[in-house]
Structure 1
């Protein structure tokens, strides 16, 4: 069941800002030091890691444009599975996105916003304080995106523009920086550069998080004006902008504070960069930009997530579909869909708190459950594009063969990186995600039999 009455609220700028705004804003600020750590402080290897990330996303997104331009199905990637694979496969992937992908990434980024808030205002840095602030942000942004479609879109556009200021600014300043690197603060152990061998492959996991989110923009495809033209443009240009911004920031930070300072201080390196560039108040100014950037990511995630239960319900792929598919004429969204997304997020926030409190995931977080598996799912669609080329539906050799083959290779690289980064838990994450997909598959099969 598709809703033909969905109105088109958004233009190319919002679709583009969702891709750039979700990718850029959280991962780059608290994962760049992880990437440098895994490469042993080798900047060249760090650049290679970012290029691999762009390689995976760019060829993957270009490939998906071939599907985006050939369907009007709702649900983003779920709609692509429905149109080009099967409705049962769409239900399987939809369950993965509903129960794992969206909520885990959303709550982790909201938690990160809580972390930067405590840093900015000098609040207690306890996990409870960070989680509590994250819950406030989560509640506010879910409410904002439900109560006002246009305000949510405008907030996304505004935060995307604001977050570019420090990222590009640091890159530009780094080009002309000539001052000596700062001394490592007392009480912090100095960590020097080292040879890591193949251990640098583990940097692919934080890199994948840094680039993650680009595909979420596809969830608003039915609400984008001239979507068959604008979505392919956004999916192609967006990742290129992300790559340019990431490289500028990464190289700029290294130029200003040096590899050893970043390796030793981790996420706190951004504070020193702010002070070095802007003086005494630089740390607060920089943290303000970072917080706005991270909130922009949470907003983009919630903007997409509140629509997912609604899209699945319209296809009768989840329990209580009749209720969840009902759209409120005033908000033009389903109140049950927004509520379901919010409640699922609360459950995962609790699980995230427990895993962080107990150290269960050995330094990782619940978002790692989703990211590696999602790339494996995208690979199924990449292979479908190759089939469409063989059938003569896709005409271009580049779009029909080269892009999907490279996209598939990229997905396999992400899988390898994920296993290297957390060999104990990533296999468990993959099995858990697969079981959720199987549940969604058989749920839809059962509903078809009942009908």
Structure 2
């Protein structure tokens, strides 16, 4: 039987902390390290800038569509809950299973592992110890999320504010002190590990991965103040801020450095840009800002994904549901769900390649995104007068159509470029089906 603890959850996320969660979760290390690869695949700076803009538009249209659906279903669980209400228990369960067992822990593990690598590099520590610093960072963030959620909300606001400062500095430096033409520079060198000259489509695909993460806010609707209004506002304005940041930093980089130099530098582009602008210590400060940026992104994942497990347990859709549907009496947070997913993420850091797993999850993630996008048409048909809609996207139906076409592009590209990863991700998700059947059988037996 479905239980409801929504009234017990602490609604500690207001508009600013919700906005910070969207911005902070999207902007991780991708903004600082994707410049070279996007430019290499685009072939010239003009095409690369349009790729960042196009990726942002596709993300914004997806965000508006999901925000409209979410404003009508303001419950914890995000796409797990939306898909269940739109398409039934089995589809919703598989969406939740994917996030709880696969995608969420893999993201936590990958982000933590990267934090450890950058941390030991910055402070000259042995590379073999990086995994332990990554685990330490993950555990610290987990502790913050195990106490009342106004602490994790405040932490998200602080880390997001800090990460926006170097972004603003890089944009201003590029705009006013750069000496290169930002538009029209062609790439003539080969990038390491990147297929140069892949064209506009491949470049857009690269930016879409950098824009991912905005949907995590929907997972914590039960902890948002006035979610019917706050959720759509935070998603839409958060994505707009990220678009400005991505396009602004890219334009600043093209003004500051030659196109071939950017491709050759690759992941070190923004570090070199900061060092040129602000000297040796400027580069070091940027590295610290990147570490803080990663912590903010990690916090967003730890805040968001365990709420999906909590919502599934509320419905009896997970083993040991009584344990994982409990809230801490003191903090009103689902601590058992949080620590289980963190434990899976740590295991992935030791026994798998989390980065590879997150790549595998892209296909399935966008598949479930598409189901929610199609859901906008279902919800409009169910409620043509909009009596339950607190947010209506502009330019309907073109907004969800653009979002669906963009998602289809991602799906087709994944099938063509990484068929093995698609098969593996489908297999992992379908493993959840026999688990669901067992849970249904055990409930019926009782």
Q: Same fold (TM over 0.5)?
A: yes
Q: Evaluate the alpha carbon distance shift between residue 433 and residue 118 of structure 1 in structure 2; reply closer, same or farther with a 3 A threshold.
A: same
Report if aligned partners of 2:22, 2:235 keep a CA contact under 8 Å in 1: yes
**Preserved CA contact (<8 Å) 1:307 1:337:** yes
Structure 1 residues 330 and 192: CA distance shift in structure 2, 3 A = closer
Q: Which residue of 2 aligns with 1:85?
A: 87
1:425 match: secondary structure: helix
Distance of 2:363 and 2:54 partners within structure 1: 15
Matched residue, 2:359: 368
Q: Which moved more, 1:408-417 or 1:288-297?
A: 408-417
1:406 aligns with 2:405: no
Aligned residue for 2:317, secondary structure, equals coil
Post-superposition Cα deviations, 1:357-376, rounded to whole Å, max 9, x if no partner, equal xxxxxxx6221122232111
Which one of 426, 433, 443 corresponds to residue 438 of structure 1?
Answer: 433
**Match in the other structure for 2:108:** 106
Distance 2:41 2:118 in 1: 23
Q: Which residue of 2 aligns with 1:251?
A: 251
Q: Give the Cα–Cα distance (whole angstroms) in 2 for the partners of residues 314 and 82 of structure 1.
A: 13
Change (3 A) 1:178 1:167: closer
Residue of structure 1 in register with 2:231 after alignment? 231
Q: CA deviation at 1:332?
A: 1.0
* Counterpart position of 1:52: 54
Could you tell me which of 392, 399, 421 is aligned with 1:426? Answer: 421
Query: Equivalent residue for 1:222?
Result: 222
Alpha carbons 1:386, 1:400 under 8 Å: kept: no
Task: Please state if 1:377 is matched with 2:368.
Answer: yes
Instruction: Determine helix, strand or coil for the equivalent of 1:72.
Output: coil
Per the alignment, do residues 436 and 202 of structure 1 end up closer, same or farther by CA in structure 2, a change over 3 Å counting? farther
Q: 1:233 to 1:216 in 2, by over 3 A?
A: same
Larger deviation: 97-106 or 396-405?
A: 396-405
> Which residue of structure 2 lines up, in the alignment, with residue 313 of structure 1?
313
User: What CA distance in whole angstroms lies between the structure 2 residues aligned with 1:220 and 1:195?
Assistant: 39
How many residues are matched?
431
Aligned 8 A contact 2:23 2:241 in 1: yes
Distance in structure 2 (CA, Å) of the matches to 1:246 and 1:304:
23
Instruction: Give the deviation of 1:191 after TM superposition.
Output: 4.3
Tell me the equivalent position of 1:20: 23
Question: Once the 2 structures are TM-superposed, how far is the Cα of residue 235 of structure 1 from its aligned partner?
Answer: 1.6
The residue number in structure 1 matching 2:271 is: 271
Superposition deviation, residue 142 in structure 1: 0.9
1:73-152 to structure 2, matched below 5 A, reads: 73-124=75-126, 126=127, 128-152=128-152
The 8 Å contact of residues 212 and 371 in structure 1, kept in 2 or not, is answered as no
Taking the aligned partners of 2:212 and 2:337, their CA distance within structure 1 comes to 23
Change in Cα spacing, 1:82 to 1:164, as seen in structure 2 (3 Å) is same
Q: Quick check: 1:385–1:400 contact (8 Å CA) kept in 2?
A: no
Summarize deviations over 1:9-67 as a string: whole Å, max 9, x none: 11011111111000012211222322122223x21222232223212221111111222
SS at match of 2:218: helix
Matches within 5 A, 1:23-38: 23-38=26-41
User: Residue 62 of structure 1 aligns with which residue?
Assistant: 64
How far the C-alpha of 1:431 sits from its partner, in A, is 2.3
Contact 1:373-1:433 at 8 Å conserved across structures: no
**Is 1:387 equivalent to 2:382 in the alignment?**
no
Q: How high is the TM-score relative to the length of structure 1?
A: 0.88
Cα 1:166–1:390 shift into 2, 3 Å: same
Residue equivalent to 2:389: none
Q: How far apart, in 2, do the equivalents of 1:447 and 1:63 lie?
A: 37
